[in-house]
Amino acid sequence: MIVSMRTGSTKEEIDAVVEKVHSYGWDVQMNIGTERTVVAVLGSDTGQVSTDVFAVLPGVETVTRIMKPYKLASREVKAEDSLVNVNGIEIGGKRIVVMAGPCAVESEEQLMEAAALVQDAGASILRGGAFKPRTSPFSFQGMEKAGLELLKKAKDKFGMPVVTEVMDVRDVSMVAKAADILQVGSRNMQNFTLLTAVGKSQRPAVLKRGFSCTVTEWLTAADYLLAGGNNGVILCERGIRTFEDSVRFSLDIAAVPVIKKYSHLPVIVDPSHAAGHYSLVPAIAKAAVAAGADGLLIEVHPNPEKALVDGLQSLKPDNFANLMKELRLIAESVGRYI
């Protein structure tokens, strides 16, 4: 951390900063310039302390963080890429893993039909929501426990691992029994109570990026999962909130190489929630693979016109099958496969 004093700060003010630094067991190095004094704080864990503790002291003008606030998710702690193994399917390796299925589980018929068609087209993991975070209390909230039962049934029938969202801290162990991967949704990325519980679970977890959280905050949230002992963390970029109104969220494609640069965790992309419209999903999905994403999370519905939730962003069976063909070619062009 770098503490820059105001022009004209007194010796007492500077001494108080130094004393504060020492109280954390850290060292200082002083830069006494002609205009102002700059105090460099030297220590290996300064990233975990708020800059405020120095900024609040008299005579301090700015405090700048050099170290990142996240730790366990960083490449500095673990240089090589992490692989997450889900029933033999490796996420983060050469294979690009496609997770596909309906936004919400709506009925046995719908889920089985969806599972059959996404598997047929080449998806390796089935997605489907049993609990749905809905902005209005008057909207359909998901099939809940009955939905979990259907997911288990689909998993057994098709031999595909299943990913589903958990919203309530009280449901973590129940959902972990039914699902192979727990999903923490965008609106819960900073629900630290839920993160702590999922961190203690032994299930791999997809951590969706909060739609207004920085990559740094996202990796710091991943630290909650990793600190609990859960090493199966898969990051999922799903679009951020911006001023642009032609899409539901703006997919932050640069987040893929940024994550690869700073973290060892695998990162997948959800083009469906970003786009908000099925016609934009293929282009975003293709871009994600070209940019280096380790997988995709795509909404597919046997009959989007009858979907109870998010039908507009769901691909039709034919479109999904076509997209998978295109994705295979792009995967090969970047030295990977689906």
Footprint of a second copy on 118-157 (CB under 8 A)? 133-139
**332 φ, ψ (degrees, to nearest 5):** -65, -40
Residues in contact with 198: Cβ distance below 8 Å, sequence separation at least 6, in sequence order: 166, 172, 182, 184, 205, 225, 228, 230
Residue 82 touching a second copy (CB under 8 A): no
Q: How far is the CB of 98 from a second copy (least distance, A)?
A: 15
Residue 167 touching a second copy (CB under 8 A): yes
Q: Are 249 and 274 in contact (CB under 8 A)?
A: yes
- Segment contacting a second copy (CB under 8 A): 109-117, 118-126, 152-160, 288-296? 288-296
**163 φ, ψ (degrees, to nearest 5):** -115, 135
Number of residues located near a second copy, criterion CB under 8 A: 108
Residue 85 touching a second copy (CB under 8 A): no
Scanning residues 191 to 210, which ones bind a second copy (CB under 8 A)?
Answer: 191-193, 195-196
Q: How far is the CB of 280 from a second copy (least distance, A)?
A: 5
Q: How far is the CB of 4 from a second copy (least distance, A)?
A: 5
Residue 338 touching a second copy (CB under 8 A): no
Residue 12 touching a second copy (CB under 8 A): no
Residue 2 touching a second copy (CB under 8 A): yes
Residue 333 touching a second copy (CB under 8 A): yes
**38 φ, ψ (degrees, to nearest 5):** -120, 130
Q: Which is nearer to a second copy, 114 or 309 (CB)?
A: 309
Residue with tokens 């033999």: 88
Residue 247 touching a second copy (CB under 8 A): yes
Residue 231 touching a second copy (CB under 8 A): no
Which tokens go with 135? 């902005």
Q: Which is nearer to a second copy, 88 or 137 (CB)?
A: 137
Residue 220 touching a second copy (CB under 8 A): yes
Q: What is the CA radius of gyration of the chain?
A: 23
Scanning residues 27 to 66, which ones bind a second copy (CB under 8 A)?
Answer: 27, 29, 31, 33-36, 38, 40, 42, 44, 48, 50, 52-53, 55-57, 62, 64, 66
**Exposure string over 189-222, b if 16+ CB within 10 A, otherwise e:** bebeebbebbbebebbbbbbbbbebebebbbbbb
How far apart are the two ends of the chain, measured CA to CA in Å? 44
Region at 159 (left for phi over 0; alpha for psi -120 to 50; beta for the rest): left
Residues in contact with 88: Cβ distance below 8 Å, sequence separation at least 6, in sequence order: none
Residue 18 touching a second copy (CB under 8 A): no
- Segment contacting a second copy (CB under 8 A): 83-91, 114-122, 156-164, 283-291? 283-291
State the Cα angle at 115 between 113 and 120, rounded to 5°. Answer: 100
